[in-house]
Amino acid sequence: MEYRSLGSTGLKVSRLCFGTLTMGPLQANLPLAEGVELLKYAVWQGVNFFDTAEIYGTYPYLRRLFRSYPGEELVVATKSYAVTAEEMSRSLEKARRELGRDRIDIFLLHEQESALTIRGHREALEFLVEAKQKGLVRAVGISTHKVAGVRGALEFPEIDVIHPLFNIRGLGILDGTLSDMTDVLEHAGASGKGIYLMKPLGGGNLLNETENALRFAFSRPFAASVAVGMQTRDEIDYSVRIASNLPVPETLKKRVSREKRALHIDEWCEGCGECSARCPQRALTPGKGGRIEVDRDKCILCGYCAAACPFFYIKVY
pLDDT band at residue 7 using 50, 70 and 90 as cut-offs:
very high
Return the closest-CA partner of residue 168 out of 122, 235, 126, 219: 219
pLDDT per position as a tens digit, 48-58: 999 999 989 99
Res. 79: pLDDT tops 90: yes
Res. 259: pLDDT tops 90: no
Q: What average pLDDT does this structure show over 218-240?
A: 97
Residue 135 has what pLDDT? 97
Contact 306, 314 (CB under 8 A): yes
Residue 200 has what pLDDT? 96
Residue 82 has what pLDDT? 96
Q: How far apart are alpha carbons 33 and 41 in whole angstroms? A: 12
pLDDT band at residue 241 using 50, 70 and 90 as cut-offs:
very high
Contact 41, 50 (CB under 8 A): no
Q: What average pLDDT does this structure show over 229-234?
A: 95
Res. 158: pLDDT tops 90: yes
Domain 263-316 bears CATH identifier 3.30.720.110: no
Q: Which range, of 38-42, 98-102, 104-108, 289-293, averages the lowest pLDDT? A: 289-293
On average, the pLDDT of the chain sits at 94
pLDDT per position as a tens digit, 110-144: 999 999 999 999 999 999 999 999 999 999 999 99
Q: What average pLDDT does this structure show over 196-208?
A: 89
Q: 3-258: what CATH class?
A: alpha beta
pLDDT band at residue 260 using 50, 70 and 90 as cut-offs:
confident
Residue 84 has what pLDDT? 97
Residue 205 has what pLDDT? 80
> pTM of the prediction?
0.90
For 93, other C-beta atoms within 10 Å of its C-beta total 11
Res. 233: pLDDT tops 90: yes
For 119, other C-beta atoms within 10 Å of its C-beta total 12
Return the closest-CA partner of residue 317 out of 48, 15, 29, 88: 29
Q: What average pLDDT does this structure show over 63-85?
A: 94
Residue 238 has what pLDDT? 98
Question: In this prediction, what percent of the chain has a pLDDT beyond 70?
Answer: 100
Per-residue b or e along 192-222, where b marks 16 or more CB atoms closer than 10 Å to that residue's CB: ebbbbbbbbbbbbbbbeebeebbebbbebeb
Residue 289 has what pLDDT? 80
Q: Which range, of 5-19, 147-161, 265-279, averages the lowest pLDDT? A: 265-279
Domains 3-258 and 263-316 share a fold: no
Residue 257 has what pLDDT? 86
Q: How buried is 267 (Cβ within 10 angstroms: 0-12 exposed, 13-18 middle, 19+ buried)? A: exposed
Contact 216, 222 (CB under 8 A): no
Residue 97 has what pLDDT? 98
Domain residue extents for the chain: 3-258, 263-316
Q: How far apart are alpha carbons 57 and 53 in whole angstroms? A: 7
* DSSP string for 127-152: HHHHHHHTTSEEEEEEEESSHHHHHH
